[in-house]
Amino acid sequence: MSFILGSGSPRRKELLAQIGVVPDDIRAPDIDETPHTAELPRPYCARMAREKAAAVQAGSDDIVLCADTTVAVGRRILGKPADEAETIRFLRLMSGRRHKVITAVAVKRGDKLWQRDVVSTVRMKRLSDTEITAYLATGDWQGKAGGYGIQGPAGALIPWISGSFTGIVGLPLAETANLLRAAGYVFAGETS
């Protein structure tokens, strides 16, 4: 049995290491992440995690973990911004208000799938143009849902959260550990 992380995210690999899980292999799936017309953020996020897990080639006894993180303002999905202009639009939309961060986790072993999604609420402070420009200059927005990562420089822009900090970063650890156990993963120090 091998444990395969179906994600190229260095943050997810780092988060797994916090609970003593080291992947035997990393296989980032390449899927179309375009939301369907009128698709709501939470079902979209869950679908992405399932589709990623289905796209990872693995043996029948291998355990595959995939996840998707989506930032949502109301019914609007804020994916990974294409450029600085889109990042500015996202930051202005979230400025001074609350938004949701949804992370869906899918664990596959053979033809079985275990899935869970975690929704956290985040409040971003009211941002000045100077703060937006300074944040853009860090480059930290690149490759991150909603154009920010709470664990980096944007942490200074977030005065309040409700929910799972690790879920906001990209992998809710308590829920992930439970899914891995359900799939038969044995953590160090545990017996099967």
Give CA separation, 192 vs 25, 43, 106, in Å.
Answer: 22, 33, 21
3-state class (DSSP) for residue 37: coil
Give CA separation, 159 vs 62, 85, 138, in Å.
Answer: 41, 24, 19
**The two three-digit tokens of residue 54, written as one number:** 């289905």
Active site residue 68: yes
Q: Residue 2 carries which side chain, given as an amino acid letter?
A: S
Contacts of residue 117, defined as CB under 8 A and 6 or more positions apart, other chains included, come to 42, 45, 46, 49, 102, 103, 104, 105
Q: How many Å separate Cα 18 from the centre of its chain? A: 16
Contacts of residue 51, defined as CB under 8 A and 6 or more positions apart, other chains included, come to 29, 31
Place of tokens 């420009």: 133
Q: Which of 24, 32, 61, 68 is catalytic?
A: 68
Q: Return the active site residues.
A: 68
